[in-house]
Structure 1
Amino acid sequence: MKQLISLLYIIFIYTIGKRLFSKRKLLREAGEWAIVTGATDGIGKVYAEELANDGLKIMLISRNEEKLLNTDVYQRIQEAIDQLSSIACLVNNVGMGVPKLDYYATADYITIDFIKNIVFCNTLPIAMMTHIVLPKMLKQSTTGMAIINIGSHSGYRAFPFLSLYSATKAFVNQLSRSISNENYDHRIHIQTVCPMFVSTAMNGYCKMSLFVPNAKEYVKCALDMYGVEQETFGYIGHAIKEYFTSLLPNSIWKYYMLFMKSWFDKHKKQ
């Protein structure tokens, strides 16, 4: 019965719930500007487009991880942000993925430079950008301001063959939760968005399906979930899939991930 109630809750919150509780429309009243990192393509680009369609001016921050790994650049970013009239929303989207599911010990792409870059790229920009933007938001008198951090469902549990990537996304989840709990100003909402597979350049534009939306479909749904859930999978297909996989005990989950690795290896060879 408990599992059935949980499933019905997911269906409700992603259909009726988002229409009743979404605070997306409040963003245009919260400030004049939205800041989006990693907006070159995919999810970040669509966030910028959707927020612009909602009436916000957009400030785009480079996706180039080499630039964002240089801490000197954040001084220039802060100076630019200080010139903005008011901020409605920060979307921390910049990040790196991995080319394939593989064993951490033997994957040929896992080099010293790769480890350094993915750890820094998936953790440093979100920490720095939040530290820059949050104090400015706290000085504003408006309500409904948002910090939206793009994490991953892989940050919620042990994720074999994505060990390094999932660890960096666990950082995103934990930082978001902790800052949200210490932020007693309820005018600012900190949301973590945790997608599964979305058809983007990062994952080779995998074939779309009920569980694999394109970036536009995913972001439109995820933005509608702003104000509905503090931690959201953003898309009903992802929430339902995560619900069923979360029922698997770890002993079976490991074999499920081994199957997924084999499937992706075969898919990439075709």
Structure 2
Amino acid sequence: MSVQDVLFSFVALLFFWKIIFPVLRIIFLYTVGKRIYSRRNQLKKAGKWAIVTGATDGIGKAYAQELAKDGLNIMLISRNQEKLDKISKEIKDQFHVDTKTVACDFTRTDIYESLEQEINTLPSIACLVNNVGLSYPHFARFSDASFINIEFIRNMINCNMTSVASLTRIVLPRLLKQASYGSAIINLSSFAGLVPLPYLSLYSASKTFIKQFVQALIPEVGTSKVYIQVVCPILVATTLSGVKRPRLFAPLPDKFAASALDMLGVEPVTSGYLPHALQAFVLSIHPKIAALAAHITFQKVSKRKR
């Protein structure tokens, strides 16, 4: 065998290992894998109630509906009581489950004592969905964006980071003490938490915290009794993302939530949705790819604002 043949074989093997195998693995997990490993069906055996934050819009609302469809009662937590009442009635009427609503503002830090009291009224908990989050209104430079002030920074840290750690600290001991197995804590992060995204710097950092927190927590807790997962979507057609029309790589929240919930137990860090997983793989091959995409988006936003 010549040197050229050896080199060609090495390159082909490297290509298979770095590109083909990961893509095949992704496709397997989102098709066959979720049928084998998904723990979604165990939630109802683990407890009677699901807790969902940021439950009045987008992904949070869709998670609440999917969990109610599975027969779980839902505690809806969000800022707007009027919206909470509306979603609560919709879920009761459509899925014939019980609901509770708790209005609170996650940009504040003085809410957790009363929130813990509300959570303690639940007889048993199947899962917590840490979904509430605050984002940028558009791509922007941290150094000169007018909306990025001290209050905005504090609000984003409180909403995106403090809420996840605090609610996990409140709920996790309950889940570990329950006699039943199969409960879960599902944490909504973002693709921006997987790679550093310029022009979303503070948001990206806050979402990285969620991923790091979950990955550090999993070895402490194990996976036999309580499954802890972080979900890292790219674009979903929600008010928060600014995407108005759904498409293959920006699905409606209900389509995304159904897919992501099926991935519970399949992988601890998940994109939640097959097209997002493939997209994330491509963008993660080299950090500069995602950075370039962010830069192009920033330039487009800057031109529109002129």
TM exceeding 0.5: yes
Gaps of 5+ in 2: 1-15, 81-102
- Provide the aligned C-alpha RMSD in A: 1.8
Letter in 2 for 1:154: A
C-alpha distance in 2, partners of 1:67/1:57?
Answer: 22
Instruction: Tell whether 2:281 aligns with 1:239.
Output: no
Task: Give the CA deviation at 1:61.
Answer: 1.4
Task: Give the CA deviation at 1:158.
Answer: 1.7
> Does structure 1 conserve the Cα–Cα contact (< 8 Å) formed by 2:193 and 2:204?
yes
- Which of 154, 157, 160 is matched with 1:122 structurally? 160
C-alpha distance in 2, partners of 1:184/1:240?
Answer: 28
What aligned pairs does 1:162-201 form with structure 2 within 5 A after superposition?
162-184=200-222, 186-201=224-239
Equivalent pairs counted in the alignment come to: 267
C-alpha distance in 1, partners of 2:61/2:213?
Answer: 23
Partner of 2:240: helix, strand, or coil? helix
> Does structure 1 conserve the Cα–Cα contact (< 8 Å) formed by 2:104 and 2:111?
no
1:110-158 deviation digits (Å, cap 9, x = unpaired): 1111111111111111111100001111110111100000001111122
Letter in 2 for 1:31: G
More moved, 131-140 vs 257-266: 257-266
Gaps of 5+ in 1: none
What aligned pairs does 1:1-270 form with structure 2 within 5 A after superposition?
1-2=16-17, 3-63=19-79, 67-184=105-222, 186-248=224-286, 250=288, 252-264=289-301
1:256–1:67 distance in 2 versus 1, CA, 3 Å? closer
Partner of 1:202: helix, strand, or coil? coil
> Does structure 1 conserve the Cα–Cα contact (< 8 Å) formed by 2:109 and 2:158?
no
1:155-188 deviation digits (Å, cap 9, x = unpaired): 1122111101000001111111111111136210
More moved, 150-159 vs 252-261: 252-261
Task: Give the CA deviation at 1:66.
Answer: 7.1
> Does structure 2 conserve the Cα–Cα contact (< 8 Å) formed by 1:39 and 1:63?
no
Task: Give the CA deviation at 1:69.
Answer: 3.6
> Does structure 2 conserve the Cα–Cα contact (< 8 Å) formed by 1:89 and 1:147?
yes
More moved, 18-27 vs 59-68: 59-68
Letter in 1 for 2:115: I
Partner of 2:205: helix, strand, or coil? helix
Find the structure with the greater CA-based Rg.
Answer: 2
Percentage of pairs with the same residue? 45
TM-score, reference length from structure 2: 0.83
TM-score, reference length from structure 1: 0.93
C-alpha distance in 2, partners of 1:63/1:7?
Answer: 40
C-alpha distance in 2, partners of 1:123/1:217?
Answer: 26
